[in-house]
A and B are shown apart, each in its own frame.
Chain A
C-alpha cells in the first residue's frame, strides 16, 4: 500500500549545527506537505511542495521535492532551541484523497 518512510527517527544536535530529515515514498506523490509538532502540542502546517524538483525556503528552513516526486527533504541551517519538536512529512496521493504521514523525526537541540 501507500507508505511514506521518514529518517532519521531521532536527531540530537548542538545549537548552531545543521539538521536534515528525509522522506521517501514507494509511489509517485501528488504533493508533499511538512508539519512541525512541538512537545505536547499538535502538528502545525509548514509548507506544501507540488512541482517536480521544487525548492522552497522559509528563513532557515529549506524544503525540497525530488525530480521523480517520490522523495523530499527538510534542511534547517544553524539550529536554534526554538526548532525543537517533531517534524513530519506527509504525502498526498491522487488516489483516495488522503494524506499519509511519515513516522516523524524528533529533533532535540542542546544549547
Chain B
C-alpha cells in the first residue's frame, strides 16, 4: 500500500538536544511538507519542499532544519534552538491538484 511513514510515533527530547523525525513516502509525490500541531490549534507550516534538493521555510521555521536529498525522504531536525518543541508533528506529501496525504505523526515531548 502506498503511504507516508513517520517515525518514531513518540519521542522524548532532553533540554539542549537535537532530534530528527523521519518521514518517508512511497507515493512518488514531488512535494512534501512538515506541519506542527499544538493542542486545540490548527496546523502551522514549518518547512516544505516542492522538488528534490530544494526546500523553503514555512511560517515557523526557526529552530528547525530539513533536507531533501531523495524524493522519498524529508527528515525534520528539531534543534536545541527551538525553545518550545513539545507538539504533534505531521508530515505530508502532495501530487499536483489534489489534497495532502498525511503520515500518522510524531508526538515530541521535552523532558
Contact = CB atoms under 8 A, between A and B. Distances in A.
B104 A35 contact: no
B43 interface: yes
A57 to B, nearest CB: 17
Residue from A42, A90, A103 having most chain B Cβ neighbours under 10 A: A42
A6 B41 CA distance: 11
B48 interface: yes
A107 B46 CA distance: 27
A42 B48 CA distance: 18
A33 B97 CA distance: 11
Contacts of B50: 97
A98 interface: yes
Contacts of A6: 42
Interface of A: 6, 9, 33, 35, 41-48, 88, 90, 97-104, 106
23 contacts: A35-B100, A42-B104, A42-B105, A43-B43, A45-B98, A47-B99, A88-B42, A88-B43, A90-B43, A90-B100, A97-B50, A98-B33, A98-B45, A98-B48, A100-B45, A101-B42, A101-B43, A101-B44, A102-B42, A103-B41, A103-B42, A104-B41, A104-B42
